Chains A and B, each alone.
Chain A
Amino acid sequence: MSSFVQWLTESMFLWKALIIIVIFAITLGIAAYSTWAERKVAAYIQDRRGPNRAGWGGLLQPLADAGKMFFKEDFIPAQADKWLFILGPCLSMFTALMSSAVVPFGNSFIIGGKEVFVQAIEINIGILYVFGVVSLGVYGVMIGGWASNNKFSLLGAIRAASQNISYELAMGMSIIAILMMSGTLSVREIVLQQHGGNWNIFYQPLGFLIFTVCAFAECNRTPFDLPECETELVGGYHTEYSSMKLGFYLFAEYINMFASSAVTACLFFGGYNYPGMDFVETQLISALGANVGHNVATLIGIGSMFTKILFGIFFFMWVRWTVPRFRYDQLMNLGWKGLIPLAVANLVITAGAILSGYKLVGIWAGLGLMIVLISVGWSLRPKKKNAIMGA
């Protein structure tokens, strides 16, 4: 028994369990308040006030919503496949919660002489893990849509599946450019390499653009929310869902937003890094001592990470209330004819820049050259004769 207690205190087990629980709680909390923020942002953009009755500024609204969801009838259609019908939202929620496991939310705490990373698990294939889990997320939608035994649900699910597969390609290729620069798959390593203000966004502007667009598509957010397109498909894959099962689907969307904002922050905005972090850390260490100073500096780093994440979530909402939904053929055109070729070009440019030895200059020069080439090609294209416009 004593050896077990000793093992518990000496190993990282307790600290890791604590960190996992805290990250889990923060993820759920942020996702819950994203629903509130979404309504507030929507309201403010449309010159309204938004929810302001439940608690101060409507801050208890998520609780009220959850309460409402729980008290709705939990209905399963007679023709539905019961087990798959239940499995769908569970899988959606499960994969959504898993994806933030490899995200480093901060540097490390030094507690009792041990260094504890502020990250649930550090694995050397972090990015692959994120992509694997995110791809699994399609199963939740697909199973839910299929099990509902409803045409609209099935259509929504099929749309979701094809959309996610199409955009994962471009997303993956925009990430490969980052991986070529960093030479590692570990998210922590990628963040460490962006120390200070040396963020990847300056090296990969096009990659960032492609990644963001694909992240919107992967999260099924407007302008790519065709899977749940109300105007065409009633509610898409969750047409038949009610009560907390529907709540799980909607909640999973917000968790996915949080996770993709976190991954974007790590890959392109330096995660917990911020300009002047070394100065802050040395000042804190000289003022508070090595351990406490380091821990406080880590806390500030976590603050910078969450600032980036929250801005990312705000950006998701900002775009949602600005841009109308794409048509399905436009969505596919953009994915296959627009983003994938651009991602490949970005890959080639990055590779060339890395080989040339001047990364920053090379990439920007390459992008400039690409734009020039595309515009020349555009101006030389055969002009279509249009009877209506020619009149």
Chain B
Amino acid sequence: MAGRPGGGPGTLRALGLPRLQPLLGRLLDPAPTPPLPAPGAAPAPAPVPTDNLRRVARLFARAGFGATVAEIQQWAATGYTATIDHLLGFATSNGRPDDLEVLALQEVATANDPNNPPTLQPYQRWWLQRMATTQYPLEEKLTLYWHGHFATGYVKVRKPGLMIGQNRLLRSQAAGDFRALCKAITVDPAMLIWLDGDTNHKGKPNENYGREFMELFSLGHDGGYTQGDVREAARAFTGWTVDKQGNAAFNAALHDDGTKLLLGQSGPWGAADVVDIILDRHPRGPVAAHYVAGRLASFLHSPNPEPQVVQAMADAFVASNYQIKPMVRALLLRPEYTDGPARNIKSPAELVAGTIRGLNLARGDGAVGVVESLLGQPGNTTAANDLLAQQCDTMGQVLYDPPNVSGWHGGTAWANTATLLARYNFAARAAQLVTDDQLGALLDGTPAPAPQPWMLRLGLLDLSPATSAAIETYVAAARAAHADDKTVARGVLTLLLASPDYNLR
């Protein structure tokens, strides 16, 4: 498979497919990974084509947070298209019970206590837990995408409740209506604070939101707008404020109701009109559809998506009047996506959540269970909070606090000496968090140094020759030093988690 480190076509170095079934049969795990709902009553008995296994494995890595090889096999037997339909088939979160309510209540309880100021960490922990355990992984993946797209930072908002409110908005439209999402985010309280909409008043407009809305949220840096359009959009956006309770409110006295000239269209435009004009009446056509499609493709697919892929996504976006789901579906069906060589680097949140999922570290009840597992010190929730925040932070991704309004750049920007060291250290820590009991069950009947049991859990169908050889060399050296089975098994897991193979998707 071109693009894997040193891998040739069809190379299945460490986990030969002929051996897959016997290994699966031996895999004993008392606490299976949070289940994706099984497709039908039983896995189809027919042999699954290798290509489809690869497609489904990569699909879950990119459109979800990974899956075990057993799950991959089941879904591959069901079929690639049916798997896409399943992933895209989540109902809007508004129709489901929402554990955010609990956290919101917790925050209210502590908001007025100066000795216990609200922090982001319970919300970061909650979201990672949700990514790791959800039955609707694409909902979380798209919510994560929109968080980076409409990047809003806690550093300035300073109110966790408003960040959570925005997260709820992003989730409610994660695969929904982009036009409605744009109109709602424009008057979202966190956004109004973040880009100064709440002080953008008639007479002396503040350009901050108007510029970033066009440059980053809808049209792109070269999206055919001028400084004049920025100024006129800022006028149209005037009048929205945030009250003391954290609710957005429109104050007509602060709104400039005069005529604005925006992208050649003249009228007494308000906030919603700006969105409609940008989407429907840009003199160069559907510039926004191409920009959003390209940015989404660079996240879900490849840092440099093929033009024809972006075109197909933009076409589906326009044809559906800016519905997000058809655009995503168009991408997931493209041959460049299913079979192309291009790889992307997992974001830190994907890496952490996927590892919690694959290693079944989300034990215990609720959000605290994850963190305690990660820390290995049940009950020490303060330290646990710090540790979990640090995992993503040092890898370059602080949830609810992106580095600036342009979000996380992703792709190769995730890989530098600071963040790769953080990834190695995460791997080493995670490997220590697998309990002896879990190790014992996992290794039952399998030679301790073998990477196969871990690969089955982590959804790795194969390894590059370099990683295979590195693990062999490590095992030999550890054996020669008389390391015990559990040490070596954890060492193999460390290398797998740190390997380029696992960090790519």
A and B held together in a complex = no
Chain B residues packing against A (C-beta within 8 Å): none
